[in-house]
Amino acid sequence: MSLKSHAQGSPFPPTKPGVLRIYSMRFCPFAQRTRLVLAHKNIPCEVVNVDLVKKPDWFLALNPLGQVPVLQIDDKIIPESTATCDWLDDVYPENRLQPVDPYLKVWDRVLHEYISKLIGPLYGAMRATDASEIEMKAAEIKKHLQFYEEKLKGRGDGPFFGGSKPSGFDFLMWPFYERLPALTILKDNPVLEIEADKIPTLTAWDKAMRQLPAVKNTMFNALSHVNWYKSVGKGTPDYDMYLAEH
């Protein structure tokens, strides 16, 4: 199936009985969470990319919120990134991602809730034009990264939040961490650079995550993210950027 995005007026791509499908967008960090889990667990899945500005009517019928990711298999529809990741972990239990220990499981949920404190200043800095506002957002980002640095240290030898193997939370956090290097390039402001010496445990985590096949199969490099966000900033997001058929 083509990876080109489906926009308003495009026909619905017919489903096949018993075949799992993800409705996604190639540059969406939330959809990337689900694609990471799919890749890590080696779950066969069709990918249907969606234009999130000119959404097809059939996609809005599947998810009236108009957001990705959405999973579909036969008559089952599962929206939202954390819900899809949890569902995949339950239905495909090999390479289990959720901790068995109830205490760790609860804390993974706490760590996930805290991600919003990182996401806010990350995208706030992308939109900011004033140098003082960018500096303020950079300070917020670094403060929240320090929080994760301390929590990861408390997880033992690592290098992952799941220990020697990644947990579900590793994949929930990664897409936003992946985009941090693009921020410095996009805004051309050194204040946004991540100071690796101040977060050595997270820096080691970053290196370990980049070696995972699932991450290699789903990530874009910093310059690709920069070019994507530039297209968004111009009001003409190029959903099919870097596709050979585009």
Residues identified as active-site: 28
Q: 94 near 100, Cβ under 8 Å?
A: no
Amino acid at 214: A
Whole-angstrom Cα distance, residue 216 to residue 107?
Answer: 27
Within a 10 A sphere around the Cβ of 175, how many other Cβ atoms?
23
Q: 6 near 63, Cβ under 8 Å?
A: no
Amino acid at 82: T
Q: 155 near 101, Cβ under 8 Å?
A: no
Record the tokens describing residue 124, joined without a space: 């706030």
Q: 89 near 168, Cβ under 8 Å?
A: yes
In 3D space, the residue among 209, 214, 220, 210 whose CA is nearest the CA of residue 179 turns out to be 220
Please, where are the H alpha helices in the chain? 29-40, 57-62, 81-91, 102-127, 131-153, 168-178, 180-187, 200-210, 213-218, 222-233
Q: 26 near 73, Cβ under 8 Å?
A: no
Whole-angstrom Cα distance, residue 138 to residue 209?
Answer: 23
